[in-house]
Structure 1
Amino acid sequence: MSKQNYNLLLADDDEDDCDFFKEALDELSFPAVLVTVNDGVQLMDFLASITAGDLPDILFLDLNMPRKNGHECLTEIREKEALKDLPVIIFSTSLDNEIVDKMYAKGATYYIRKPGEFAQLKKVIENALTTASGNNFKQPVREHFILQP
């Protein structure tokens, strides 16, 4: 990864998942700043409050959140001109093929199933950052859409 510092945004209502994500990121060698929001309404308000030049480099988006879920947020993000190119990595406990296909069709950049183990979480975050930046944050072909640890 050639960029000096990555600005990451995590939208997840589970406080423990947010803490584990931050701890895993801290243990990796990638220079990154992490901002977290706890539901879809906070996410969309946050994105609306910043200028295009200050958008996060990657949004990690949980699907099951209160007030506004990840499906709704992704749809809104892809409809807004200022946000349509924001790289969105789905970060969910579900790995239902129908949901994965819907997220791909809606324009998510990658899909990650939340791992149960901390070591796997570190690996999948590292893989996501490396793969996304190596691919210029563009959506891959469907066969490479799901990222593994």
Structure 2
Amino acid sequence: MNTKEYNLLLADDDEDDCDFFREALNELPITYSLITVNDGVELMSFLSDKSENSLPDILFLDLNMPRKNGFECLTEIKQNKKLQPLSVIIFSTSLDVNIVDTMYENGAIYYIRKPGDYSKLKKVIGNALALISGKKMKQPEREQFILQP
């Protein structure tokens, strides 16, 4: 039984995707808190108010958001000493190899292509949480970077 409580942050501008994400979490055998933000400006404002010790365990980051996209947010996070320890999982509809490579090079921990099927969504979120063990997670080899349901 998993007794860890996950402190999760989801940055995604699509309300339906946020609802499906929350519903999938509710069906997993985990304890969690989830905060959602709807664009990159809101995300960076939220993170700037946090101390290093109060950062979320995991940020699920959509790439295509208004005002500031996920590329820009990941770059800012990894350039900010206080935010660098944050484990970032890219959570996007795109699976372009060049984008995936860029996200890997910029320090994301994993890359998830948003599945269209709810059961696959639940499975891939569960897999991601099982792989993350605390805030000091190391990035895997490139071959293991994309998580599949």
Show the counterpart of 1:78.
Answer: 78
Give the C-alpha shift of residue 53 in structure 1: 1.2
Tell me the equivalent position of 1:89.
89
Q: Which residue of 2 is the match for residue 21 of structure 1?
A: 21
- What is the RMSD computed on CA atoms of the aligned residues? 1.6
What SS class does the counterpart of residue 36 from structure 1 fall into?
A: strand
Q: For 1:28-57, what per-residue CA distance to the aligned partner results, in whole angstroms no more than 9, with x for missing partners?
A: 001111000000000000000122111000
Displacement, 1:4? 2.8
SS of the equivalent of 2:130 reads helix
How many residue pairs get aligned? The number is 149
- Partner Cα distance (2:69, 2:135) in 1: 27
Question: Hey, what does 2:122 align to over in structure 1?
Answer: 122
> Structure 2 matches for 1:37-116, cutoff 5 A?
37-116=37-116
Distance 1:124 1:20 in 2: 13
In 2, the alpha carbon distance for the partners of 1:36 and 1:135 equals: 19
Q: Percent identity?
A: 67
5+ residue gaps, structure 1? none
Q: TM-score, normalised by structure 1?
A: 0.96
Q: Distance in 1 between matches of 2:137 and 2:16?
A: 27
- Does residue 10 in structure 1 map to residue 10 in structure 2? yes
| Corresponding residue for residue 145 of structure 2 | 145
State the shift of 1:2 in Å.
5.6
Deviates more, 1:47-56 or 1:66-75: 47-56
1:108-137 Cα shifts (integer Å, max 9, x gaps): 000000000110000000000001228952
Any gaps of 5 or more consecutive residues in structure 2? none
- When normalised by structure 2's length, the TM-score is 0.96
Instruction: Answer yes or no: is the 8 Å Cα contact 2:8–2:59 preserved in 1.
Output: yes
How far apart, in 2, do the equivalents of 1:135 and 1:87 lie?
A: 6
Q: Which amino acid aligns with 1:106?
A: N
Q: Deviations over 1:87-111 (max 9, x none)?
A: 0000000000000000000000000
Q: Is the 8 A contact 2:62 2:90 kept in 1?
A: yes
Structure 1's consecutive aligned runs of 4 or more residues displaced over 3 angstroms after TM superposition are none
